[in-house]
Amino acid sequence: MAVCAAIIGKDNSPKFFVTINPDEELQFQYRVLSSLDIVEDKLNSGVKGGADTKELYLGMLLSLEAHKIYGYVTNTKIKFIIVVDSTNMVLRDNEIRSMFRKIHSEYADIVSNPFYIPGEPISSKNFTTNIKNIMTGTV
Amino acid sequence: MHPGIIQSDSDIPHELCVKPLALVGVTGLDIINNAVHKSIWETFSSNRRIERAPVLFKLVGNVQEFPIMKPKRTSYDWYIPKGILKKNWINKHLYEIPAVIVVFYDLDWNDSSWSEKMIECASRVQSMRAALEGRGTRITIVLIQNSPPQPPGEDALSSERAIALCSSCEINSQSLFVLPHGDHLQGYAVRLENAFYEYAQTYYHNEAKHVKSHKEHLNKNSHQYLFVRHQFKMGFLNELKQDAHTAHKHYTHAYNSLLEIRIVDTNALEIRTLAGFVNYKLCRLLFALNLPRDAISQFKSHVDRFKARMGFHELTFEHYAWLSKQYSVFGDIFDEAVKLGLPAVQTQHPGIYYQQAAQYSIQRKKFSQELCSNIIAYPQPDPLQGANHMEFYGQRPWRPGKLSAEPPDPHLESNGIQALQFLEKQINHSNLIIALYGLAISQYKTYRCPRTRRHLVLQMADEYYDSRDYGKALTLYTHMLLDFRNEKWWDILSTVLEKAILCAYLTANVQDYVGLAVEILGANINTPLNEKRRIYENLMRLLKKQIPFGDPKIPQDILQNAIILWQPVFSEKSFNIALDMTNITASVSVKARFMKKTYEVDQNVIVEIFVRSTCPFPLTFSKISVTVNAQNQNSEYTVTDSADVSFNFHKDEVKRYVVEFIADCNDINKDIQINSVNVFLGNSPECCLDLKYPASVESNGNNIELYHFKHNADKLDFDNVQALSQATVVPRESKLRVDFLHQIPALLGEWYEIKVVVTNEELYEIVDLKIEAWIEEEIANVELSLQPSDKHKKLNLVLNNPSHLKPTDQISTDFFVRSNLICKCNIQVKLTYTLSGEKQILSIKSEKLALAVVEPFEVSTKYLSTLMAEIEKFYIGEEFGVMNYIKFTSPWLIIVEDTSFDYIHPVSPAEENRSSQISGKTFNNEEIGAELHLATCNKPNDDFVNVGHYTIRWKRENGHSTTTTLAVTGLPCDWVAVGLKMFAPAHGYVRTSMVIEYHVENRSHELVRLELSMDASEAFMFSGSKQFSVSLLPQSTRILQYNLNPLIAGSVALPKFSMTISENTENGPPVVSQDQLNLLTGRTLPTHVYVMPQMKGEAKLPDSIPSPENVAVIG
């Protein structure tokens, strides 16, 4: 299971942030922020392949002592970040990938919600629950 | 107290860090007294660049003591090593025991006292050899000679003496070198040192082999240390030999052997220290061998292996110091490799290791504070006595060389630990940590990680805070705020702000404190409400010039210091703080806008100001003002404080204020801008806080339109207020009426008159009226003028007009335009005037006049023969008609005043009195006027001849006359040798004879013979030669006369007259061809003549042609 998930807007401001352990949120915010350096770099340097083979999954961004950070960028430059414990061996690349895809579809749903203003931080409780379920693998 | 500085066991000793170079001892050089020797020494020792051999030269005296060789051990059976690696060993091989000794000696082959000197040299060699007894050091001799070198084999004396010298010194002939002192010293030196380097490599190779030979004596049980030691030595010797691969192999063995040793409390430090050393060597070699991945993985496994080996709990800080050192040293090696060209990437660069080193240093600090805080005294006797002179690396000074099997003395042990703890307590950890962060930050900057770098800066600031350097911490915190603000990481921003305001409080920095407070009170900052209340109260206290209360969490002593710092802050009388709120999302936000994009000069400019407070507590402002920038001056307008205007704000309240002013007349057609809005807090005159907001807040990047969907209960919709920070002052709308009277279209080339009629429909008299006219896009051929003449033409015109105009009065003035080009142009007319009402107001009115220019007429020209047939060529001497057609295309009536035709040589008129045939005529649109003139051409020309200029003077009805001149192009002109003219009456009468004459002219300088004939015709009876052969003399004319008696009336074909060239031409080709003759008759002779019926009554004969006197009449 992932320990933290974040949705970052195209202006690199956090739109949504959730951690399994709320006490560690600030530390995770710093980590996710650091990983954005790598995302930015990948986005700036990356003209890989044609426009058709657009890969949204960025792979592992950072491998720290205690955590591994994965990234995913939508075509509209919305970034999804997932933080996983380094000791977690269950989650492989494929699981992370599918987790991102689920988050992406949740995000697409929330953006379609007429009561949500795109670009504002997401505060929907339902959304938070759904993302937490994705993180813990209960979906 | 313990005096000295103990070298920390976690440091990598200097001798390990330097690049190992083969040591070459140099003797026999007296560099103090002998200039030659000095220059030789300098050539060798200085300027050692990378391309020179990896050799270190050491100057050795003639009587030098070298480290004594230990007696050779025959058996290791009873030998138990006391430690792993002796401290002096590396140094000994690096700097003390040379691999090669070079004996320099001044000796020429032909030296007079050869044998004495040879003996002296030999004795020097002998003494060196004695000093190096037992070592494998190679001894070589270099003879310094003055004479240039001879080719080998040619100089019998030298080769003989060389052999003698070798044998007396007992050296190999290859160890004897000659150094001619003179030119090319550098070149010789390079060659010599390469030879030395080769010998040194052999030496180190043998040494390594020697060490290896010990291996068979060792056994695994008692000699584990020796396995490590020997492998390390072999590795090092191979490094001296510059064999990195072999060195790496041996170091790997050493490292693996080290891991096999069982770690107990007594040897833990030693093994860890040695592992650090060997790992250092390994990583460095791997980077040098360009295997950075291997280096990184070696380092990682090394750290993983030792991370958990804490050792004594009391000395945990030592472990973290070691770990931190491992990381920082690896960072150094990595950085060094990068500087030598290794490409590093964003996810793998030295900064990561420095950062980790800093983290471990923090751990070290934590444990050091935990474990050492109780240690007050340094134990006596000093358990660390002699710590810098230990025999082995990584052993405790209080039990040197003790075997791991012996149980440690507990008292001594605890004393030693206490001593180490005491020393640890003296260390300023923060400095270490900050330095490491500094290194990491610069690396992260290089590898484009601005956000990670920011995080590190914050950690660095935390460390400054921890070390009570609040000023520096505050600076770092405040510098980081902007980026977090821009990227809206409010949670992080909140924590940083809280830390920063604490620092600002502790340093009594009012400016920062106030700024941070205003920001913290904003809605975005999620500081707990009670904390916000405390800050709000402090802010209010500050505005009353009272010292704010400190955070209750601050320890008492620090709080005391802070209060002392605050005391002098309020001693000064006035206390005004201005804050630039440009990039701050504070608790008070402001928007200002103009109500319109343009303001007329006599209207009030209205600025709307919206102020919103998101502070959870009520705020009261003392003043709100707006600064407006105009071209010439900036003015500040204050919101007037009247009864219905309130400056009190509750949470999330938005208020709207309006400022009105009248724009300056000087700013007409210029922009005015809202520069800033200032909101003032604080009532007392000596204490006031000025929050300065920029006019245009950057939109927050999202689609602003979407905010209209946001629920907004009742109040002013602050989010949806669109800023409009710029407006233009425009002149007031003029009420003048301007009419243009003219007759379009303008005609090409004419001075076209435009009449301007201005009617004052304003309420007041106008003065200083100025009317200007100019052409909108400058066209070269369009001119303006006040007079219909060329003299006054201008591009920009000021019209003549009366400058005063009473209400309802009308004036008119006119100007002229001329265009020499068919085009469409726009004429701008601008009226500038002052309205002299209650107030003088400058007004401007602009009018645009579109004008099309068309041609008044088109001229075409045709050329006719005398028979009125169109011709294709002119012929010299033959008259032709020039027929000009003028087709009028103007919608207006045009009067042709005069026309004239100026011929250009060689064309000349063939009429005596020429006058215009259409002058004074009036033409409507689509009408054509034509006139015909006769001309001749007297010069042949293959091209089209320029006939002349056709000038037409014309005018509109009641207009000004215009002269148009056109160039007329004619036809090519030919010369023919024979000319022919016919003279005949215009008509004849039936049965009445008429005379016709043919004049045949020879224009050439040769005789022309022609056969002339007159065909019979049914319509005529005629007399005259029917067939006639004629010889024409040069330049003469022959006249043939015929009497024709018409028989029928009507247009009757004349008898056909023809000319042929006589066949019996004698000399040369004829000057004229038959074709030319046919054409000639065709164009000059009429084919028909009108014959009238006989008149009733008396018939009047037509005039017969008067025969010129000089023409012979052929009867």
CB pair distance less than 8 Å for A34 and B489: no
The pLDDT assigned to B1115 comes to 35
Report the C-alpha gap between B254 and B275 in whole angstroms.
Answer: 9
CB pair distance less than 8 Å for B347 and A118: no
Residues B949 and B1008 in one domain: no
The number of residues in chain A equals: 139
Residues B964 and B989 in one domain: no
Burial of A49 (0-12, 13-18, 19+ CB in 10 A): exposed
Report the C-alpha gap between B317 and B368 in whole angstroms.
Answer: 5
Q: Which residue is closest to B711 within chain A, CA to CA?
A: A115
Assigned domain for B149 exists: yes
E strands of B423-534, at which residues?
none
Residues B849 and B861 in one domain: no
Domain end point (choices B854, B880, B906): B854
CB pair distance less than 8 Å for A25 and B491: yes
Residues B837 and B929 in one domain: no
**pLDDT, average across residues B1101-1107:** 50
Query: pLDDT tens-digit profile of A89-122?
Result: 888 888 899 999 999 999 999 999 888 888 888 9
- Which run of H or of E encompasses B540? helix B529-543
Which residues of A fall within a CB distance of 8 Å from B524? none
Residues B781 and B814 in one domain: yes
Query: pLDDT tens-digit profile of B711-725?
Result: 665 566 777 777 788
Which residues of B fall within a CB distance of 8 Å from A66? none
DSSP B304-345: HHHHT----GGGHHHHHHHHHHHHHHHHHHHHHHHHTT---B
> Confidence class of residue B7 from pLDDT cuts 50, 70 and 90?
low
CA of B142, closest CA in chain A: separation in Å?
60
Report the C-alpha gap between B822 and B240 in whole angstroms.
Answer: 94
End-to-end CA distance of chain A: 12
Would the pLDDT of B74 be above 80?
A: no
Residues B103 and B116 in one domain: yes
CA of B462, closest CA in chain A: separation in Å?
14
The pLDDT assigned to B205 comes to 93
Assigned domain for B309 exists: no
CB atoms within 10 A of CB B219: 11
The pLDDT assigned to B704 comes to 60
Which residue in B489, B495, B706 is closest to A33 by CB distance? B489
**pLDDT, average across residues B147-161:** 72
**pLDDT, average across residues B95-117:** 86
Residues B888 and B740 in one domain: no
Which residues of A fall within a CB distance of 8 Å from B492? 26, 29-30, 33
Print burial letters for B381-417: b (CB count within 10 Å at least 16), e (below 16): ebbbeebeebebbbbbbbbeebebeeebeeeebebbb
Assigned domain for B96 exists: yes
Query: pLDDT tens-digit profile of B940-987?
Result: 888 888 888 888 888 888 788 888 888 888 888 888 888 888 888 888
DSSP B235-251: HHHHHHTT-HHHHHHHH
> Confidence class of residue B1108 from pLDDT cuts 50, 70 and 90?
very low
CA of A37, closest CA in chain B: separation in Å?
5
Cβ of B460 under 8 Å from any chain A Cβ? Answer: no
Would the pLDDT of A67 be above 80?
A: yes
Residues B792 and B869 in one domain: no
Q: Per the omega criterion (within 30 degrees of 0), is the bond before B381 cis?
A: yes
Angle at B747 between CA B746 and CA B749, to 5 degrees: 120
The pLDDT assigned to B1068 comes to 58
Query: pLDDT tens-digit profile of B383-437?
Result: 777 777 788 888 888 777 665 556 667 888 888 888 888 888 888 889 999 999 9
Contacting residues for B562 by C-beta, under 8 A, at least 6 apart: B505, B506, B507, B508, B550, B554
Query: pLDDT tens-digit profile of B871-902?
Result: 888 888 788 888 889 898 888 888 888 888 88
Angle at B180 between CA B175 and CA B186, to 5 degrees: 90
CB pair distance less than 8 Å for B492 and A26: yes
CB pair distance less than 8 Å for A38 and B449: yes
Report the C-alpha gap between B238 and B231 in whole angstroms.
Answer: 11
Please state which of the four CATH numbers 3.90.1170.50, 3.30.450.70, 3.10.150.10, 3.20.20.70 is assigned to the domain occupying A2-136. 3.30.450.70
The pLDDT assigned to B652 comes to 82
Three-class SS of residue B155?
A: coil
Would the pLDDT of B1106 be above 60?
A: no
The pLDDT assigned to B1100 comes to 56
- Which run of H or of E encompasses A100? helix A93-112
Q: Which amino acid is at B140?
A: T
Mean pLDDT of the residues in chain B:
83
Burial of B229 (0-12, 13-18, 19+ CB in 10 A): buried
Domain end point (choices B943, B974, B1005): B974
Query: pLDDT tens-digit profile of B583-640?
Result: 787 888 888 888 888 887 777 888 888 888 888 888 888 888 888 888 777 888 888 7
Assigned domain for B518 exists: yes
The torsion region of residue B823 among left (phi > 0), alpha (psi -120 to 50) and beta comes to beta
> Confidence class of residue B909 from pLDDT cuts 50, 70 and 90?
confident
Which residues of B fall within a CB distance of 8 Å from A118? 702-703, 706
CB pair distance less than 8 Å for B492 and A30: yes
Three-class SS of residue B386?
A: coil
The pLDDT assigned to B914 comes to 79
Residues B693 and B753 in one domain: no
The pLDDT assigned to B462 comes to 92
CB pair distance less than 8 Å for A119 and B703: yes
Closest CA to B752 of B823, B674, B847, B683: B823
CB pair distance less than 8 Å for B489 and A13: yes
> Confidence class of residue B165 from pLDDT cuts 50, 70 and 90?
confident
Residue span of the structural domain in which B762 resides: 736-854
Domain boundaries, chain A: 2-136
Beta bridge partners of B1008: B1032
Among chain A, residues having any CB pair with chain B shorter than 8 Å are: 10-14, 17, 25-26, 29-30, 33-34, 36-38, 41, 61-62, 65, 114, 117-120
CB atoms within 10 A of CB B11: 15
Would the pLDDT of B131 be above 70?
A: yes
The pLDDT assigned to B703 comes to 59
Query: pLDDT tens-digit profile of B270-303?
Result: 888 889 999 999 999 999 999 999 999 999 999 9
Would the pLDDT of B1103 be above 60?
A: no
> Confidence class of residue B988 from pLDDT cuts 50, 70 and 90?
confident
Which residue in A26, A36, A65 is closest to B491 by CB distance? A26
The pLDDT assigned to B152 comes to 61
The pLDDT assigned to B705 comes to 65
Closest CA to B499 of B532, B471, B473, B533: B473
- Which run of H or of E encompasses B498? helix B490-506
Three-class SS of residue B957?
A: coil
Assigned domain for B157 exists: yes
Three-class SS of residue B222?
A: coil
**pLDDT, average across residues B92-100:** 89
Percentage of chain B beyond pLDDT 70 is: 91
User: Tokens 């913290």 belong to which residue?
Assistant: B520
End-to-end CA distance of chain B: 165
Residues B814 and B896 in one domain: no
Closest CA to B403 of B680, B146, B638, B82: B82
Residues B689 and B816 in one domain: no
Using an 8 Å Cβ cutoff, are A102 and A34 in contact? no
CA of A25, closest CA in chain B: separation in Å?
9
Which residue in A30, A41, A119 is closest to B455 by CB distance? A30
Which residues of B fall within a CB distance of 8 Å from A39? none
CB pair distance less than 8 Å for B706 and A62: no
Would the pLDDT of B154 be above 70?
A: no
**pLDDT, average across residues B572-587:** 78
Report the C-alpha gap between B1080 and B1088 in whole angstroms.
Answer: 16
Q: Are strands B1020-1023 and B670-681 parallel, antiparallel or unpaired?
A: unpaired
Would the pLDDT of B80 be above 50?
A: yes
CB pair distance less than 8 Å for A14 and B451: no
Contacting residues for B444 by C-beta, under 8 A, at least 6 apart: B351, B355, B452, B453, B456
Residues B1043 and B935 in one domain: no
Q: What is the CATH number of the domain that holds B685?
A: 2.60.40.10
DSSP B104-121: EEE--TT-TTHHHHHHHH
φ and ψ at B507, to 5 degrees? -100, 5
Would the pLDDT of A128 be above 80?
A: yes
CB pair distance less than 8 Å for A119 and B495: no
> Confidence class of residue B201 from pLDDT cuts 50, 70 and 90?
very high
User: Tokens 């590190």 belong to which residue?
Assistant: B456
How many structural domains does chain B have? 6
Would the pLDDT of B800 be above 50?
A: yes
Domain end point (choices B677, B695, B730): B730
Percentage of chain B beyond pLDDT 90 is: 14
> Confidence class of residue B473 from pLDDT cuts 50, 70 and 90?
very high
